[in-house]
Amino acid sequence: MSYELINPLIAGTFNIRFGATDPLDAAKMFWNSFTTANSINYTPQFVFTMRNIVDDSLYHFIVNEKGTTSNVTKFTIELYNVEPSGKYIDQFLKEVDRMRLLFGLPPRESVHDEWDDVDKGKEGFSISDDIIKYVKSHKALKEIAYYWYCPSLYDINVMYSPLFSQQPCPFVQLWNPKFF
């Protein structure tokens, strides 16, 4: 099976697709590669979502990290059981598709036939043309040129985000509709 990271959505050379026997293995593969290459310090808690590329099912995960005195970070990942209603998932996936299109990322396979129906305009985006131009020109050069994240997809009160080690820092956008 193949799984794809969709929250956060990352534009750049960082691999967001993982071949694994199950979604939990894919989540561990993502977190290992993400924190090894991009993160400084440890992230106490982070929630993310992966998608099964074959059947379009979504899997939410929560990772908890603990730093040690020897600068080694240990983590646990488990499925995070939160299911926003179908209309919120549809709204979230539409926004994922819009962001992918805006930054020249390939569409989800399940929307290839419907791709013409995705709003291709920038309306509703608070992203300047300069940022779009930067991301499009740097996504082949930087591991993370743009980082888009929707924390409101999860019913959680406190959210931590990884700190990035890249210089200059990539753009980070939080999309925060009220799902709950």
**Cα separation of 77 and 50, whole Å?**
13
CA distance 174 to 165: 19
Cα(18)–Cα(96) distance, integer angstroms = 18
What does the longest C-alpha to C-alpha distance in the chain come to?
53
Strand ranges (E), 27-70? 39-40, 45-52, 58-67
pLDDT tens per residue across span 86-108: 778 888 898 888 888 877 777 77
Domain range summary for the chain, segments of one domain joined by + = 2-174
- Residue pair 76/28 in contact by the 8 Å Cβ criterion: no
Note the pLDDT tens digit of each residue in 22-50: 999 999 999 988 877 666 667 888 999 99
